[in-house]
Amino acid sequence: MFGILSDRRHFSQLSEAEVLALAISAEEDDARIYAGYAARLRDDYPTTAEMFDSMVAEENEHRARLIARFQARFGEVIPLIRREHVAGYYSRRPVWLSKTLSLERIREEARKMELDAHHFYLAAAQRSSDAETRKLLGELAVAEAGHAKSAQDMRATLDSPAGDAEAEGANRQFILTWVQPGLAGLMDGSVSTLAPIFATAFATQDTWTTFLVGLAASVGAGISMGFTEAAHDDGVISGRGAPWKRGLASGVMTLIGGLGHALPYLIPDFWTATVVAFAVVFMELWAIAWIQKRYMETPMLRAIFQVVLGGALVLAAGVLIGGG
């Protein structure tokens, strides 16, 4: 919830000069990422490497056009503003640092990068009051859409056929708007409430008191996560959808994650309730690990380490604190 107080600025708060400066730095970053991909693929996949080389050249041309437009309107000093300085700006996961990226994954990442850039330029063009700047940003939006199509064509050369573009776009939007925020909420609700619920359970061995503590922790966590998700990104340039949808998904799933192991304490017998709660926690953590693998492309072993092992440690901490 304290994301509201973040010192990052929303896209809507940027001046036209800052929007252009942001575009310049983004083009520079993307060109360097593509150059890295090209260098990695050159020996084994020279055709794909050549395509990335051409994308580097085009990104550099875009940057030069943006710099020229900035100088014509605002002078020589370009302010330093990067993606991480803007709330809700699409992020670039540093997948290029991985040594085990498959060719298909690289192509998919490139397609996502160009789609993100396309959405950014459309939003930036709508913000501009200068005709020439608006024209330039619109042309760059079209160019980035063409790059995304090229990346899609690269994927089509793989053994597996390319899916329907509209269905794929709808699936991606569903993941961004509902699955990602919901998964974050489920993880937070399931893990963060473990310690207070089981500490109370073993400290009091009173099932009703434990349930009330779990209910309060779950509701509070759900409200906090929902407001945080809705406030930190307006979805304009990230393409993640309406803030209220993401906030609702995050808040409700946080509540569900916490209530899952609080509800068993409606059973009057303490040890029966605790055994059922342990079983629910076990199923919750493994379900989260599976969802991460299914929708977030997280390797199963990493998901198990992050979620199951982390949750087990939090659970153990609650039991030890309450039992001590």
Domain map of the chain by residue range?
2-156, 172-323
Mean pLDDT check: name the lowest of 4-13, 120-129, 131-140, 311-320: 4-13
Mean pLDDT check: name the lowest of 3-7, 11-15, 62-66, 131-135: 3-7
Contact between residue 203 and residue 80 where contact means Cβ atoms under 8 Å apart: no
Higher pLDDT, 62 or 304: 62
Per-residue pLDDT reduced to its tens digit, 248-275: 999 999 999 999 999 999 999 999 999 9
**DSSP class of 91:** P
35, HSE (Cβ side, Cα atoms, 13 Å): 11
∠ CA 297-301-305, nearest 5°, is 110
CA distance 121 to 124: 5
Q: With b meaning 16 or more CB within 10 Å and e meaning fewer, what string describes 94-132?
A: eebeeeebebeebbbbbbbbbbbbbbbbbbbbebbeeee
**DSSP class of 130:** -
Q: Tell me the percentage of the chain whose pLDDT exceeds 70.
A: 85
Q: With b meaning 16 or more CB within 10 Å and e meaning fewer, what string describes 25-35?
A: bbbbbbbebbb
Amino acid at 30: D
pTM for the whole thing? 0.58
pLDDT value at position 163? 38
Higher pLDDT, 62 or 8: 62
**First vs last C-alpha separation in the chain:** 32
Per-residue pLDDT reduced to its tens digit, 270-322: 999 999 999 999 898 888 888 888 777 778 888 888 888 888 889 899 899 98
Mean pLDDT, rounded, for 201-221:
94
Contact between residue 218 and residue 255 where contact means Cβ atoms under 8 Å apart: yes
Provide Rg for the chain, Cα atoms: 24
CA distance 49 to 51: 5
CA distance 112 to 193: 35
DSSP helix/strand/coil, 86: strand
DSSP helix/strand/coil, 67: helix
The class level of CATH for 2-156 reads: mainly alpha
Q: At what angle do helices 310-323 and 180-192 cross, to 10 degrees?
A: 30
Mean pLDDT, rounded, for 84-94:
73
